[in-house]
Amino acid sequence: MKYLIGLLVIGLGFLLAWKTEWLVNNFGRIEWAEQHLGTEGGTRIFYKLLGVVLIIFSFLVMSGFFNSILVNIFGGAFQEPETSTQY
């Protein structure tokens, strides 16, 4: 099931990166993106970056590598502390 959902998200990411002009024409500009990502093209860059991030995230989840990354980053925060009996 994760492969089917992953392929659908990859397709969505591809469409976001490919059809940015259509998205801007139909949904308008994103003010935050226009202010922080460039002049007159911030929304387009935002849609393209979002599409690429979705594609990369989907490949990581489908391959199982995303879980490894989460465990390596946050795994130490959820482990029991080691107790020593030496004084």
pLDDT tens, residue by residue, 31-53: 999 999 877 789 999 999 999 99
- Structure-derived torsion over alpha carbons of residues 17, 18, 22, 23, reported in degrees to the nearest 10: -20
Model confidence at 56, in pLDDT bands (50, 70, 90)? Answer: very high
Residue bearing the bigger pLDDT, 75 or 35: 35
Q: Count of CB atoms within 10 A of residue 20's CB?
A: 19
- 3-state secondary structure at position 15: helix
8-state DSSP, 80:
P
Q: Is the pLDDT of residue 57 over 70?
A: yes
CA distance 59 to 41: 27
Label each residue of 61-76 as H, E or C. Answer: HHHCHHHHHHHHHHHH
pTM of the complete model: 0.77
